[in-house]
């Protein structure tokens, strides 16, 4: 589905760009690498972020809770994913795995929202407030994982009234089946647009050209 993006009203939400997910030696990378490699995830993420910054589209970092000792131990209803984080200490605070990938570092003025405890980047964080304060109406989801935090954040965005775009080759999951569910089965039920990285960059270029030719 075609979409247009006014840079003043658009934000790219970069979800969970941690070393544990995206870097060689990361705790989750060995499980993610086959799908990430098949879609050329890292290069596509680099391209999306670079194109957004060049085109004046806001980049917003949407990080997961960094594990700390004691997390989830007294919770009444931790999820299976939270239990795995508790066991394996994924993206632990103060560790290399809990740092952002070196190619995906916030620049001055870019927002890093409060860390989400579950899957949605909106639940119990300041993401909605930050987007509204910056006049954002359109959100573009990239990062990991496609069928968990990316999907949950995108669904929540739709419920809050945002225009939602998924970038099918700028995210990855732990299996091809999970990618299929995220983009082919679930995504079309809530996202206004599902595009490739090349299609998104073309749309950014078109929006920039429109602004240059628009009468002032």
Instruction: Provide the pLDDT for residue 51.
Output: 98
Per-residue pLDDT tens over the stretch 10-44: 999 999 999 999 999 999 999 999 999 999 999 99
Tell me the sheet residues that pair with 167.
195
Provide the 10 A C-beta neighbour count for residue 177.
Answer: 11
List the chain domain ranges. 7-213
> Closest Cα to residue 199, out of 177, 179, 172, 170?
170
Cβ-contact 35, 173 below 8 angstroms: yes
Q: With the C-alpha atoms ordered 80, 118, 160, 21, is the resulting torsion angle positive or negative?
A: negative
* pLDDT, tens digit (0-9, with 9 covering 90-100), for 53-108: 999 999 999 999 999 999 999 999 999 999 999 999 999 999 999 999 999 999 99
pLDDT of residue 207: 74
Sequence-distant (6+) residues with CB within 8 A of 205 are: 51, 55
CA-based nearest residue to 67, from 51, 56, 83? 83
What value does the mean pLDDT of the chain take?
Answer: 95
3-state secondary structure 7-70: HHHEEEEEECCEHHHHCCCCCCHHHHHHHHHHHCHHHHHHHHHHHHHHHCCEEEEECECCECCC
With 0-12 / 13-18 / 19 or more C-beta atoms within 10 angstroms meaning exposed / middle / buried, residue 81 is: middle
CB atoms near residue 134 (< 10 Å): 13
Fold of 7-213: Rossmann fold (3.40.50)
**Both tokens of residue 203?**
């749309």
| Residue 197, Ramachandran bin (φ over 0: left; ψ between -120 and 50: alpha; else beta) | alpha
pTM to 2 decimal places: 0.95
pLDDT band, residue 154 (cuts 50/70/90): very high
User: Running DSSP on this structure, what letter comes out for residue 208?
Assistant: H
What residues does 72 pair with on adjacent strands? none
């Amino acid at each position: 589905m075609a979409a247009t993006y006014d840079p003043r009203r658009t934000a790219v939400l970069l979800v969970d760009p941690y070393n544990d997910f995206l870097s060689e030696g990361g705790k989750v990378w060995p499980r993610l690498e086959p799908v990430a490699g098949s879609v050329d995830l890292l290069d596509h993420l680099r391209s999306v972020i670079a194109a957004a910054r060049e085109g004046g589209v806001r980049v917003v970092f949407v990080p997961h809770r960094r594990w700390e000792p004691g997390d989830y131990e007294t919770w009444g209803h931790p999820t299976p994913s939270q239990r795995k984080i508790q066991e394996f200490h994924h993206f632990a605070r103060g560790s290399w795995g809990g740092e952002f990938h070196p190619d995906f570092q916030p620049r001055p003025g870019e927002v890093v929202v409060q860390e989400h405890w579950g899957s949605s980047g909106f639940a119990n964080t300041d993401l909605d407030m930050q987007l509204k304060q910056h006049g954002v109406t359109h959100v573009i989801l990239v990062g990991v994982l496609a069928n968990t935090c990316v999907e949950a954040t995108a669904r929540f965005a739709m419920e809050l009234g945002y225009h939602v775009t998924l970038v099918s080759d700028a995210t990855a999951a732990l299996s091809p089946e999970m990618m299929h569910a995220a983009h082919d089965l679930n995504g079309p039920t809530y996202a206004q647009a599902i595009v490739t990285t090349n299609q998104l960059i073309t749309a950014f270029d078109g929006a920039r050209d429109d602004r240059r030719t628009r009468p002032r």
